[in-house]
Structure formats: structure tokens, C-alpha cells
Amino acid sequence: MLSSVDRVVLYVTADGKQFKQVPFYFLAGVLSKLTAAGSEDEDDTWEDDKEGKWAVAVAKERVQALQERRCDSRGRGGVYDSVLGICCHFCRQKKLCGEEDCKRCGEGDLKQPCLGKTECSSCHSSNGILCRGCLKVRYGEEMEEVRKNKNWLCPHCVEEKGIKKFWICNSSFCLKKRKIPPTGIAIYNGISDSTPVHICETCCSCCY
């Protein structure tokens, strides 16, 4: 069984209160090992759920600290969190969302989805995870509309199914796979060459 000895860190909240806790970056890294080894220690930071899987028990002090640090902006969020944050396919930021009713980012519940990130109804993969800001800027869609649409598809699935002509994913990863310069680089190249550059808010082939 893995031990948390010598891995306890002293945390200080905004109001000056101090508490000790095992760092979450360490806990996330040893999750698979703890699952295999098992533990019955009452002092462990892990708890067994109804399905028999291991889940991180987020300390109340940490949740309070998250509430104090969370950004009110609902665009891309303002607080990075490697455990609770879910990576956006475009900006690749693991930030806590600013949605008021998000139990994951607001209360530290790892079992809940992030309301500030999209989920594709078809692939359910990381390709379909977009933050509110990237969803709006890249595709001109609103998060509220996506939430209501239970059949919402990510750009990858829209392209694969041929739903919209010339519709592709314009993330830097996907553009590089197509051997196309990312939009940011394309803008600077066009300016330096005195070439008119047209970058659409929505993704289409006319941008290149």
C-alpha cells in the first residue's frame, strides 16, 4: 500500500487559515496504484463508492479555497486546476468554469461533469470538449444552446458525417495534421506578406 508520509503539504487559505493535505497532483498520479493495492486506512484521502471504484475525497478546506479563487467570468475561466479542470480541445486549458451551478468546479465533485465544457453526443471524446469562450469564438455557438441540444455534435463528428460542407476542426492540433498553419500563425504570415487574411469565426475552407 502506498503511503502519504512526507508528501503532506501545508496549505494557507485566503483568510489565513492553515491545513495539511496530500497534494492532488500526487494523488491523481497514483490513482491506478491505489486501486490495485486497496486501502482500509481511515486517514486515507480515498473513499470507496457504490460501484467499487476509487474516488478522490476533496477536502472542505480546498473547496472553500476554490470558491474564493474562482473567476466570475464564464468565458474560459480564470483558475487552473489539474484535477478538477477539464482540458479544452482548442485552448488546452484545464481551468475551472465560472458557471454558478457547476458542482464539479464549484463544490469539487469529481463525479459531476463540468457545465462550462461541451460534450459530443456521438464520440464523447476529448475532441468534443470545448470551453464557452472557444465555442463562441471558433464556431459562433452559445453554451446554453449546446446544453439544450442533446444531439449536439463536435466539429470532428460533423466533418465525419458530412453534415456541413467544408466544416473542419480548426484547432492547432487538427490543422497541423492537415499540414495547415494554425490560424494565429496564418494571421501573422499574412500581415508580414501584405496578403489579405480572412479568418472566419466559424470554421470553413475560405479561411485558407
Mind listing the pLDDT tens digit for each residue in 58-84?
A: 556 666 666 666 555 555 556 788 888
- pLDDT score of 125: 92
- Does residue 168 form part of some domain? no
- Does residue 67 form part of some domain? no
- pLDDT score of 167: 79
Q: pLDDT above 70 covers what percent of the chain?
A: 50
- Does residue 65 form part of some domain? no
DSSP 130-159: -BHHHHHHHH---HHHHHH-TT---HHHHH
- Does residue 2 form part of some domain? yes
- Does residue 35 form part of some domain? yes
- Does residue 201 form part of some domain? no
**Structural domain harbouring 12:** 1-60
Q: What is the CA radius of gyration of the chain?
A: 21
- Does residue 148 form part of some domain? no
**Distance between CA atoms of residues 141 and 19, nearest Å:** 42
- pLDDT score of 151: 94
What mean pLDDT comes out for the span 167-173?
A: 83
What global pTM score does this model have?
A: 0.57
What mean pLDDT comes out for the span 170-194?
A: 75
- Does residue 110 form part of some domain? no
- When mean pLDDT is compared across 94-108, 122-136, 191-205, the lowest value belongs to 191-205
Structural domain count of the chain: 1
> Which span out of 35-44, 136-145, 189-198 was modeled with the highest average pLDDT?
136-145
